[in-house]
Amino acid sequence: METTTYAYKTTVNLSFEEAVQKVTEELKQEGFGVLTEIDVKDTLKRKLDVDFRKYKILGACNPPNAYKALQAETDIGLMLPCNVVVYEGEEGASVVAAIDPVASMRAVENIGLEATALEVRRKLQRVIEAMER
């Protein structure tokens, strides 16, 4: 698993479709549902008539933690759901990445969000780690 200042990601030897399916299953194991699915390749083709690699943005939500966050900060909905991306990598591999909610919520400066952000971070890290198995 690779860590950046705002995300966790991994490259897996799965087709794009297999990676989308597996990450969706792993998210469910951690209590997330996928509320939105944006097909970036299709959208860019329709809107700009450009070709792009297969790329999906999955809007993942863990309802109990979303509720806790909303209780602590009503406007936190601007940062929900948690985005997970899957895209075509090199030589038939796929890349799967998840936002680090601690990094994104740091801008809010509400100490009441810290525990929830840490819990969601742990869950998303486990999802990315599970993709490597």
Q: How confident is the model at residue 41 (pLDDT cuts 50, 70, 90)?
A: very high
Give pLDDT, residue 96: 98
Domains and CATH numbers, the chain: 2-131 (3.30.310.70)
Q: How confident is the model at residue 73 (pLDDT cuts 50, 70, 90)?
A: very high
77: nearest Cα among 65, 93, 87: 65
Give pLDDT, residue 42: 98
Token duo for residue 109: 């400066």
Entry pTM: 0.93
DSSP secondary structure of 61-89 = E-HHHHHHHHHH-GGGGGG-SEEEEEEE-
Give pLDDT, residue 36: 97
- The CA-CA-CA angle for residues 126, 128, 132, to 5°, reads 105
Token duo for residue 104: 């994104």
For the chain, give the longest Cα–Cα distance. 45
Query: Is residue 95 helix, strand or coil?
Result: strand
37: nearest Cα among 63, 18, 57, 54: 57
